[in-house]
Amino acid sequence: MQATVRTFDPATRSGDVLCDDGSVLSYGADAFDASGLRLLRLGQRVRLRLDEQGAVAFLTIATLPDPSS
């Protein structure tokens, strides 16, 4: 799933994204840390992976490969 960064707090390493279907999903530090990224910018395109409960488990820049693949 792809989305656009809506908010990012570098202090907590969390924020939320606007999905292509118009829904907003929050992500925590665990999902951000799994990416290996150092920061995100507002408006940046990202790719998400959701867990079984529909929460963001991983996100990365849309053009980067998934490090777990």
Residue closest to 34 by CA, chosen among 64, 7, 6, 2? 64
> Looking at per-residue confidence, does 69 or 43 come out higher?
43
Q: How far apart are CA 38 and CA 24, in angstroms?
A: 22
For 13, phi and psi rounded to 5 degrees? Answer: 60, 40
Q: Is 53 within the bounds of a domain?
A: yes
Which CATH number covers residue 29?
2.40.50.140
Q: Is 67 within the bounds of a domain?
A: no
The per-residue pLDDT for range 4-57, each reduced to its tens digit, is 999 999 999 999 999 999 999 999 999 999 888 899 999 999 999 999 999 999
Total number of domains in the chain: 1
Q: Is 16 within the bounds of a domain?
A: yes
What's residue 63's pLDDT? 80
Own/partner pairs for 47-53, CB < 8 Å, 24+ apart? 47/1, 47/2, 47/3, 48/1, 48/2, 48/3, 48/17, 48/19, 49/1, 50/1, 50/25
